[in-house]
Amino acid sequence: MLQIIRRVLMILSAMALCASSHASAQPAPAANTCLACHSTLTDAKLTTPAKLFSGPDVHRERGFACVDCHGGDPAAGDKARAHDAARGFTGAPAGQVQIATCARCHSDATLMRRFAPKQRVDQAAEYATSVHGKQLAAGHTNVATCASCHGPHGIRLVSDAKSPVFPTNVAATCATCHADQRHMAEYSLPDGKPLPTNQFADYQKSVHYSALTKGNDLSAPTCNDCHGNHGAAPPGVGAVANVCGTCHAIFAAKFQTSVHAQIFDKGCVECHGNHAVLKPSDDMLGSTGHAVCATCHSGADDKGAVAADGMRRGLEELKLGIGKSGELISRVGNAGIDVSNQELALTEARSRLTLARTEMHAANLPAVNAILAEGTTILTGVDRAGQDGVAELRFRRRGLAISLGAILLLVVALGLKVRQLDRRSHP
Ligand code: HEC
Ligand code: HEC
Ligand code: HEC
Ligand code: HEC
Ligand code: HEC
Ligand code: HEC
Ligand code: HEC
Ligand code: HEC
Ligand code: HEC
């Protein structure tokens, strides 16, 4: 009897063992004494990593742990063994050690393909070609490293709106260093002047910044669209016009045909600036006052000045013409005459203004004038229709006056007749 009970017990315990080994085939959370101990420490510097790593963190979500970046023994309960350098503990990786730490996975195509088949694996290689990477190699530890832009813990997908490199956040991330005069103090431009720290402030004044932040236009550029994500370097001489041209292709094509393209070192930037690209207006055009052309062209014998003034005059004339024709058409329209065709034609004329402003980038006065002349021709047609409308109105008014007169006469005649009848019935 006892034997049978023992047998049954043995079978049962074997079954339990089997079941438990099945359970452990599911990846049970590996020991992580790093997290356990660091969560209980009091110094915020030591607990924050544990807290952030336990929140949204792309690496924890992919099954990685503290040891994957820091090394050490994640099964050891005491600090000395956990932090053992013989177990690969590196402390807080900084400088080149940090680049190597992140690159161990991010430059490993085989590993990365398992998680994100389309992910690039050239971040560290690109970084090495950037000013940041080169200066780090030269011993400057205050340049940006992987964790300066992405954070070390609580790293999110770059498509996450809360990521520090999401389009609407990236400028502030770069600004933590680039807007800090003390941080950037030891650096200078090739001409010896101190490296400016106004990029973020200037960028905040730009049409690009307002399109991105106020217009929610994620296609508007921020720092990394012009400077690259990892190969962060200022677009080199000659490439500057190309940077703008990646988005403004038609302007770039027109500019390429201009005399300026051969002369300007900085392409578009010569006239628009780089960080504070302001909303353009016709006031930028001309050879006097605040016009950008005036910085290089002035005087009656300067062909550039003559062209600049000619283009400006042509634009102003067409604008004035559109204004006048518009008034005429709305007057006629308000009086009840159908003017939808003329309104369409006015839109056409306005589009000639836009086309002329684009054509202007080729710095060719006759080409601009040809477009403006099309606008003027359209206006001539609009005005003719407008005058016809006015004539029609005049005709209608005259007709109305005549019929009103006739009605009045009739009323008076009726009135007289009624009085006559009245007198007859009350003699
Ligand atoms: C029993 C507690 C304990 C355990 C376990 C532990 N740590 Fe620490 N850790 C500390 C304390 C305390 C410090 C503060 C520095 C010191 O006292 O050495 C620290 C500091 C660190 C630092 C900062 C070192 C520096 O150079 O600034 C890192 C990184 C770190 N721990 C990572 C880990 C990792 C990774 C593990 C697991 C493999 C781990 N810790 C396990 C308590 C612990
Ligand atoms: C994706 C890699 C990565 C993972 C995973 C990671 N760390 Fe770190 N950790 C870093 C880097 C890089 C630094 C250095 C950051 C810096 O200097 O800006 C760092 C710094 C630290 C520091 C020092 C903080 C300070 O301000 O001095 C501690 C402590 C730390 N980590 C603990 C942990 C713990 C605990 C875990 C797991 C819960 C963990 N880390 C997971 C990359 C990682
Ligand atoms: C100067 C800031 C900066 C530095 C330094 C930096 N990154 Fe990035 N990283 C970015 C930006 C900006 C993006 C792109 C975000 C986007 O696509 O909108 C990005 C994107 C990424 C991506 C997503 C895939 C991709 O390539 O677009 C990974 C992975 C990445 N970085 C890893 C790294 C690693 C590893 C390092 C260090 C070798 C590093 N980064 C250094 C700013 C930086
Ligand atoms: C143990 C391997 C490993 C290490 C070490 C590592 N990563 Fe990652 N990282 C990954 C994997 C895997 C992903 C997930 C890719 C995915 O699913 O898109 C990832 C994702 C990322 C992303 C989000 C990319 C995206 O698609 O938006 C960034 C940013 C990133 N890591 C930065 C870093 C930085 C910075 C370091 C160093 C401090 C680092 N990683 C260290 C493996 C690693
Ligand atoms: C951790 C601080 C830090 C962060 C964050 C940082 N940078 Fe830098 N950056 C530097 C330092 C320091 C230099 C070196 C200056 C030098 O050598 O001229 C530099 C150099 C540069 C240069 C070259 C300037 C030159 O000399 O012509 C560019 C361009 C640049 N950074 C762009 C960026 C962009 C874009 C971002 C954000 C995506 C960024 N940086 C984030 C610190 C930083
Ligand atoms: C629309 C494109 C564009 C954007 C957006 C942009 N830059 Fe630039 N940046 C340039 C160009 C072009 C140059 C080179 C100008 C030159 O040669 O005079 C430059 C130059 C620089 C330089 C070298 C020093 C200087 O001021 O000439 C730094 C540093 C820099 N940018 C950082 C940034 C940072 C940080 C941001 C985001 C706040 C940013 N840039 C946004 C185009 C851009
Ligand atoms: C990543 C794409 C991108 C790059 C690079 C870029 N822009 Fe823009 N730009 C835009 C978008 C988007 C707008 C806002 C929408 C619009 O008005 O066309 C804009 C607006 C403008 C405007 C105002 C247009 C208007 O009618 O109000 C000017 C001027 C301009 N950009 C010049 C530049 C210059 C100069 C550069 C290079 C230094 C440049 N852009 C680089 C995308 C870009
Ligand atoms: C020679 C000076 C000069 C250069 C170089 C230049 N622009 Fe312009 N740009 C202007 C002026 C002036 C205006 C304003 C025209 C107006 O409103 O009458 C303007 C207007 C614009 C506009 C707005 C057009 C509109 O319809 O309101 C955009 C966009 C633009 N430029 C982009 C560029 C790009 C991209 C480049 C380089 C490929 C460039 N510009 C090069 C002087 C220049
Ligand atoms: C940074 C200096 C600079 C600015 C700004 C500039 N130009 Fe020029 N431009 C030149 C130079 C240099 C030449 C070639 C020498 C010359 O003919 O004066 C030139 C040539 C021209 C020419 C050809 C003249 C000829 O000989 O047939 C025209 C047209 C012209 N510019 C128009 C403009 C207009 C319009 C603007 C403003 C939107 C402008 N430029 C802004 C420097 C500039």
Burial category of 268 from C-beta neighbours within 10 Å (exposed 0-12, middle 13-18, buried 19 and up): buried
Report the alpha-carbon distance of residue 197 to residue 175 in Å, rounded: 8
Give the residues surrounding ligand 4 with Cβ less than 6 Å away. Answer: 58-59, 62, 64, 68-69, 101-102, 104-106, 115-116, 119, 146-147, 150, 152, 155, 157-159
* Angle CA 304–308–313, to nearest 5: 150
Report the alpha-carbon distance of residue 107 to residue 127 in Å, rounded: 12
The whole-number average pLDDT for the span 164-171 is 97
Which pLDDT does position 426 carry in this prediction? 77
Which pLDDT does position 12 carry in this prediction? 45
Distance 157 CA to ligand 3 centre (A): 10
Pocket test for ligand 4, best of 101, 106, 169 (most atoms within 8 A of CB): 106
Q: Which ligand approaches the C-alpha of residue 165 most closely?
A: 3
Structural contact between residues 70 and 53, judged by C-beta atoms closer than 8 angstroms: no
Look at residue 47 and tell me whether its pLDDT is greater than 50: yes
Band the pLDDT of 26: cuts 50, 70, 90: very low
CA 314 to chain centre: 33
Look at residue 149 and tell me whether its pLDDT is greater than 60: yes
**Residue written as tokens 């300067």?**
302
Which pLDDT does position 206 carry in this prediction? 98
Q: Which ligand approaches the C-alpha of residue 282 most closely?
A: 8
Structural contact between residues 379 and 322, judged by C-beta atoms closer than 8 angstroms: yes
Assigned token pair, 41: 């420490």
Pocket test for ligand 1, best of 33, 34, 59 (most atoms within 8 A of CB): 34
Pocket test for ligand 8, best of 272, 283, 292, 315 (most atoms within 8 A of CB): 272
Render pLDDT for 227-237 as a digit per residue (tens, 0 to 9).
Answer: 989 986 766 65
Largest CA distance in the chain: 148
**Closest among 193, 162, 166, 195 to 181, alpha carbons compared:** 195
The whole-number average pLDDT for the span 184-196 is 93
Structural contact between residues 252 and 242, judged by C-beta atoms closer than 8 angstroms: yes
Assigned token pair, 347: 């839109």
Which pLDDT does position 18 carry in this prediction? 40
- Residue 230 beta carbon below 6 angstroms from any ligand 3 atom: yes
Report the alpha-carbon distance of residue 163 to residue 157 in Å, rounded: 7
**Closest among 224, 302, 211 to 259, alpha carbons compared:** 302
Which pLDDT does position 7 carry in this prediction? 62
Assigned token pair, 119: 């992910």
Which pLDDT does position 4 carry in this prediction? 59
Look at residue 9 and tell me whether its pLDDT is greater than 70: no
Which pLDDT does position 240 carry in this prediction? 67
In this structure, the residue with its CA closest to atom 36 of ligand 5 is 174
Render pLDDT for 321-343 as a digit per residue (tens, 0 to 9).
Answer: 999 999 999 999 998 989 999 99
Band the pLDDT of 27: cuts 50, 70, 90: low
Report the alpha-carbon distance of residue 333 to residue 407 in Å, rounded: 28
Q: How long a stretch of residues is the chain?
A: 427
* Angle CA 318–286–249, to nearest 5: 80
Q: Which atom of ligand 8 is nearest to the CA of 354?
A: 26
Look at residue 81 and tell me whether its pLDDT is greater than 80: yes
Assigned token pair, 260: 């300026």
Report the alpha-carbon distance of residue 151 to residue 51 in Å, rounded: 14
State the first-to-last Cα distance of the chain, in angstroms, to the nearest integer.
148
Lowest mean pLDDT among 53-57, 217-221, 421-425: 421-425
| Backbone torsion region of residue 238, taken as left when φ is above 0, otherwise alpha when ψ lies between -120 and 50, otherwise beta | left
In this structure, the residue with its CA closest to atom 36 of ligand 4 is 102
Q: How distant, in Å, are the alpha carbons of 4, 202, 236, 316, 365 from that of 239?
A: 87, 21, 5, 34, 27
Which pLDDT does position 241 carry in this prediction? 63
Structural contact between residues 89 and 33, judged by C-beta atoms closer than 8 angstroms: no
Report the alpha-carbon distance of residue 209 to residue 200 in Å, rounded: 10
Band the pLDDT of 386: cuts 50, 70, 90: very high
The whole-number average pLDDT for the span 202-222 is 96
Which pLDDT does position 55 carry in this prediction? 93
Pocket test for ligand 1, best of 32, 35, 38, 43 (most atoms within 8 A of CB): 38
Report the alpha-carbon distance of residue 22 to residue 83 in Å, rounded: 33
The whole-number average pLDDT for the span 296-306 is 95
Which pLDDT does position 3 carry in this prediction? 63
Structural contact between residues 368 and 356, judged by C-beta atoms closer than 8 angstroms: yes
Number of other residues whose CB lies within 10 A of the CB of residue 365: 19
The whole-number average pLDDT for the span 110-127 is 95
Which pLDDT does position 23 carry in this prediction? 39
Q: What are phi and psi of 266, to 5 degrees?
A: -115, 20
Give the residues surrounding ligand 1 with Cβ less than 6 Å away. Answer: 33-34, 37-38, 41, 46, 66-67, 70, 72-74, 78-79, 82-83, 91-92
Report the alpha-carbon distance of residue 226 to residue 248 in Å, rounded: 13
CA 427 to chain centre: 94
**Closest among 141, 67, 191, 368 to 75, alpha carbons compared:** 67
Q: Which ligand approaches the C-alpha of residue 273 most closely?
A: 7
Q: What are phi and psi of 21, to 5 degrees?
A: -70, -30
Report the alpha-carbon distance of residue 419 to residue 412 in Å, rounded: 11
**Residue written as tokens 């042509």?**
314
Which pLDDT does position 15 carry in this prediction? 46
The whole-number average pLDDT for the span 343-351 is 97
Integer-rounded Cα Rg, in Å, for the chain is: 38
CA-CA-CA-CA dihedral for 229, 192, 95, 107, to nearest 10? 30
